């Protein structure tokens, strides 16, 4: 078993089955969340460590490669215990450092512009494998539990978090637990392609996380061309689930919108976006598409993007063009993994 899959109560139960006192669980958890292996856990009896290491895994994530961009972001390639490879990116900002984490190996959503879905879904990540990304990168930068090198998390790596709902929710709970790495839920953003039922379920949990919704189009007809999930849920369904999330949590919802010239950047789109965001706390994050090999979809120029953003603002919509990082290191979803697993 991957020990980082467990929360502290579950770890206590596990240790009880080894005839071990409860207080040991907290000691063990601190080591696990600091990115340490069994051999480093110096305040735990050697006999216990030996027994645990026969049956369990302390660190499920091994950083196999790191590539630094000119802009300071760092792309990571991680190896999982079964040999699968996933990726993530660390981005320094003036307000802190964020880590983009993956929730699945591959993805089955098949969005037109995205590299993660090209090979389909391989498997879900466990909660501990998602947490392990944060733990290992924190350690990589010399951080520990009192001096964290990661202050924000974005669930925007490979995979659809709400397609791996239980493990994602458990990850949000463990990453924000005070006994662990303790990143507040308000510093976690979850991005979804719009799985409506799960958005509502998440809203009912009333966690503090920011919900980002990959909208990308205001009309079903065009959204269906970009995102197969749009055949299941209409724009109206997705927006009403986003409104429900806002109502339940009071958290501002972010709509992600990849700009494609001549397709979703007309004045009618500006008006519809204004309608969609009216009466709720919402922000439109305009995305300059990253070119993906084998995908024939073009975005727009920086100037066209800025102009579209201005028009939204003129109608009172809170909007910004997303600052792109790591374009020289295949920073976007799934790009690096694709390069590496290509034979
Ligand atoms: N599955 C989730 C999270 C992963 S993608 C989701 O769909 O939201 C995170 C964001 O990056 C999404 O808004 C996605 O649409 C966007 N994205 C994917 N590929 C991209 C590319 N090539 N260029 C720019 N943005 C991309």
Distance 78 CA to ligand 1 centre (A): 20
Q: What is the pLDDT of residues 315-329, one digit of tens each?
A: 999 999 988 777 776
Whether the Cβ atoms of residue 157 and residue 117 lie closer than 8 Å to each other: no
Q: What is the pLDDT of residue 343?
A: 34
Is 287 close to ligand 1, i.e. is its CB under 6 Å away? Answer: yes
Strands 74-80 and 85-93: antiparallel
| Ligand 1 atom at minimum distance from 115 CA | 19
Q: What is the DSSP letter of 57?
A: B
Q: Is 1 helix (H, G, I), strand (E, B) or coil?
A: coil
pLDDT of residue 332: 60
Burial 111-128 (b: 16+ CB within 10 A, else e): bbbbbbbbeebbebbbbb
> How remote is the CA of residue 289 from the centroid of ligand 1, in Å?
9
- Nearest CA residue ID for atom 21, ligand 1: 290
Known catalytic membership, residue 300: no
DSSP letter for 342, please.
-
What digits encode the pLDDT tens for the residues 269-284? 999 999 999 999 999 9
Q: Check whether 341 has a pLDDT greater than 70.
A: no
In DSSP notation, 185-249 reads GGGEEEEES--HHHHHHHHHHT-SPEEEEE---SSHHHHHHH-GGGGTS-HHHHHHHHHHHHHHH
Q: Which of 12, 20, 87, 256 is catalytic?
A: 87
Q: Which segment of 35-44, 51-60, 149-158, 292-301 scores lowest on mean pLDDT?
A: 292-301
Distance 276 CA to ligand 1 centre (A): 20
Residue 59, pLDDT score? 98
**Mean pLDDT, rounded, of the chain:** 94
Q: Is the CB of 103 under 6 A from ligand 1?
A: no
Active site residue 333: yes
pLDDT at 134 > cutoff 90: yes
d(CA 10, CA 331): 36
What does the alpha-carbon distance between residue 136 and residue 274 come to, in Å, rounded to a whole number? 41
CA of 192 to the centre of ligand 1 (A): 9
Query: What is the arithmetic mean of pLDDT over 173-198?
Result: 98
Model confidence pLDDT, tens digit, residues 32-73: 999 999 999 999 999 999 999 999 999 999 999 999 999 999
């Amino acid at each position: 078993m991957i020990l980082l899959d467990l929360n502290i109560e579950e770890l206590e139960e596990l240790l009880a089955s080894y005839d071990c006192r409860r207080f040991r669980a907290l000691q063990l958890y601190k080591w696990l969340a600091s990115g340490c292996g069994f051999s480093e856990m110096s305040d735990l009896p050697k006999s216990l460590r030996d027994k645990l290491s026969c049956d369990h895994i302390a660190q499920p994530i091994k950083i196999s490669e790191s590539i630094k961009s000119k802009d300071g972001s760092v792309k990571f390639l991680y190896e999982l215990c079964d040999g699968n490879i996933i990726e993530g990116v660390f981005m320094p900002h003036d307000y802190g450092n964020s880590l983009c984490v993956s929730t699945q190996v591959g993805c089955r959503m098949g969005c037109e512009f995205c590299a993660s879905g090209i090979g389909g879904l391989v498997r879900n990540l466990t909660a501990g494998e998602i947490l392990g990304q944060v733990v290992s990168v924190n350690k990589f930068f010399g951080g520990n539990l009192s001096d964290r090198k990661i202050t924000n998390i974005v669930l925007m790596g490979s995979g659809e978090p709400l397609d791996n709902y239980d493990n994602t929710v458990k990850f949000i709970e463990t990453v924000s637990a005070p006994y662990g790495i303790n990143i507040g839920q308000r510093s976690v953003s979850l991005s979804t392609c719009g799985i409506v039922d799960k958005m509502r379920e998440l809203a009912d949990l009333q966690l503090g996380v920011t919900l980002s919704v990959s909208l990308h189009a205001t009309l079903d007809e065009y959204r269906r061309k970009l995102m197969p999930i749009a055949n299941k849920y209409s724009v109206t369904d997705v927006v009403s689930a986003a409104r429900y999330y806002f109502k339940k949590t009071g958290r501002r919802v972010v709509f992600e919108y990849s700009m494609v010239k001549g397709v979703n950047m007309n004045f009618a789109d500006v008006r519809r976006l204004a309608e969609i965001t009216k009466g709720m706390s919402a922000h439109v994050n305009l995305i300059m598409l990253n070119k993906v090999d084998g995908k024939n979809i073009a975005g727009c120029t920086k100037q066209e993007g800025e102009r579209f953003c201005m028009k939204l603002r003129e109608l009172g919509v809170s909007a910004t063009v997303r600052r792109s990082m790591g374009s020289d290191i295949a920073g976007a979803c799934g790009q690096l993994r694709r390069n590496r697993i290509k034979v």
